[in-house]
Amino acid sequence: MKKTVLSLLAVCMMMLNAACQKERQVSSSSFTTHDNGKVFHNMTIVDHFGSLHIAYEGQLRFSDDEKSIAMLSPNSELNYRNNNIKIKVSSDAKGLISYLIYEDGQKVSIDLERGQKIMSEAIQVMIKHGIDAKGSVERLYKKGGKQAVLDRVSSLQSDYIKGIYLDFLLENEKLTGAELKTIAQQVSQLIASDYEKAKLLDKNAQTFLKYPESNSAYFQALGSINSDYEKAKVLKNVLQQNLDAPTFSAALRVTGSINSDYEKAGVLKSLISKGTAWRDQFGSILDISSQIGSDYEKAGVLEHFLSHNNLEGENWGKFSQILTQISSDYEQAGVIKAVLDKQVPSGADFDKLLSTLNNMSSDYEKAGVLKKIANQDLKTEAQWLSLINTTANMSSAHEKSNVLVHLANLMPRGETIQAAYTKAAKSIDSDHEYGRVMRALK
């Protein structure tokens, strides 16, 4: 009975394992360890083609024809197993290399044509998985030039290795704009890892941006990065360079594709700092700023914009519209104060700024803004009237009276202005506060 139960349990475990293998058709692991100064490399891949295992110690280099092992660190081993093929390559204390090759469990001599073919095919598999990548790309380039390197990239199994091959060309070859465009397209289409893609684009930005055709392809590749963090990191570094107007526009378009408010705001601030020469782009910068959902980040971008630029014409209209999108009274008040530190709008723009306060629920924040406006040495009677009328709309008797007392110490004593002040004072429902306001007028 006990045997039967154990047998059934074993069968169930086998079925469960088979189901898991079927469900998870591909698994991969690769790691490098260090022990007593020696480096151990280990790679295992299981997929619907079977299983592949590669492990070796120290340094390994293939021969120039990539059919044998040219160098393996002394007293080291390479173990290779690919389904029915098993290979063990050993080096003695002097680095002399020996081979053991098995096919379907049968030993095959390296001196035979079949043994040499098995070894050659195994090396091609290892190359595709990145073994001796730097040596392989150097050999390939010597034989077939840049086109041979580009042709191999699509067959490589690792984004990290693809990056090594493409980076080699970018560092060692004088490339035309068309060739750089091709490489940028390969980065976009063949490298899935956001990290590896960003690393390559970041390191070689200056090279790609030299020519109009590769410039455009570069930003398309940059736009294909899904990670907002990686995309923003590259953009910020790109903006450290001297950019012409088209490149600045391309960077701006990619910035618009960033979803993270934090990362988008960070890049916009870099664009604003860098782009003072491209004033025709200010409207586009503001349009992208309006896409930020976070009041804190949006306000930060607007304040940064004000620290570098003056608001004029259409840009003021866009800026004030974005200002109304900020729901936080604290953040909105902070931006308005930054506007006043930079310039005092005139005419309709002044009234538009004051109308923003009508959407502000906090009378405390509203009062702070109104007092700051009054401190700006307003030039026209119309501005004072608008300021007094906006104060009259406040709900808090205490805050309203505080603002009116403040205004009384600064405003001109014209008949029209005093009449507006008296009318605003009458809207206070506290006798104490009303008396304080009216005494300030004398």
Q: What is the tens place of the pLDDT at every residue in 295-307?
A: 999 999 999 988 8
> How far is residue 391's CA from residue 387's CA, in Å, rounded to a whole number?
6
Band (pLDDT 50/70/90 cuts) for residue 200 is very high
Within a domain: 335: no
Structure confidence at residue 37 as a pLDDT band (50, 70, 90) = low
Separation between Cα atoms, residue 82 and residue 103, nearest integer Å: 10
For residues 79 and 55, is the Cβ–Cβ distance under 8 A? yes
As for how many domains the chain has, the answer is 1
Tell which phi-psi region holds residue 46, choosing left (phi > 0), alpha (psi between -120 and 50) or beta: beta
Q: Is residue 73 part of a domain?
A: yes
pLDDT tens digit sequence for 236-267: 999 888 888 888 889 999 999 999 999 999 99
User: pLDDT per residue over 171-193, tens digit each?
Assistant: 887 888 999 999 999 999 999 99
Q: Which residues contact 373 (CB under 8 A, 6 or more apart)?
A: 340, 344, 354, 387
Check residue 172 and give its pLDDT: 81
Q: Does any domain span residue 54?
A: yes
Tell me if 36 is assigned to some domain.
yes
Indicate whether 6 pLDDT > 90. no
CA dist 46 to 19, 123, 131, 289, Å?
A: 15, 18, 18, 47
In the three-class reduction of DSSP (H, G, I as helix; E, B as strand; rest coil), residue 332 is classed as helix
Q: Is residue 122 part of a domain?
A: yes
The answer to the question of residue 65 being in a domain is yes
Please choose, from the candidates 264, 325, 327, 324, the residue with its C-alpha nearest in 3D space to the C-alpha of residue 297: 264
Strands 97-103 and 106-108: antiparallel
**Considering the domain boundaries, does residue 83 fall inside one?**
yes
Q: Give me the mean pLDDT over the 293-322 stretch.
A: 88
Q: Is residue 31 part of a domain?
A: yes
297's CB contacts (< 8 A; 6+ apart) are 261, 262, 264, 265
Enter the tokens of residue 422. Answer: 């008296």
Residue span of the structural domain in which 58 resides: 27-128
pLDDT of residue 220: 94
**Structure tokens belonging to residue 109:** 């001599």
pLDDT in tens, 94-130: 989 999 999 999 999 999 999 999 999 999 999 999 8
Burial class of residue 15, CB neighbours in 10 A (0-12, 13-18, 19+): exposed
* Other residues' Cβ atoms within 10 Å of the Cβ of residue 331: 21
| pTM of the complete model | 0.79
- Residues 281 and 249: beta-carbon distance below 8 Å: yes
Helical residues (DSSP H) of 295-396, grouped into ranges:
295-308, 313-325, 329-342, 347-357, 363-374, 381-392
Asked if 353 and 339 count as a contact pair (C-beta separation under 8 A), the reply is yes
Confidence label for 347 from pLDDT (cuts 50, 70 and 90): confident
Report the pLDDT averaged over residues 35-43: 74
pLDDT at 3 over 60: no
**Is the pLDDT score of 221 beyond 80?**
yes
Nearest to residue 362, comparing CAs of 321, 333, 338? 333
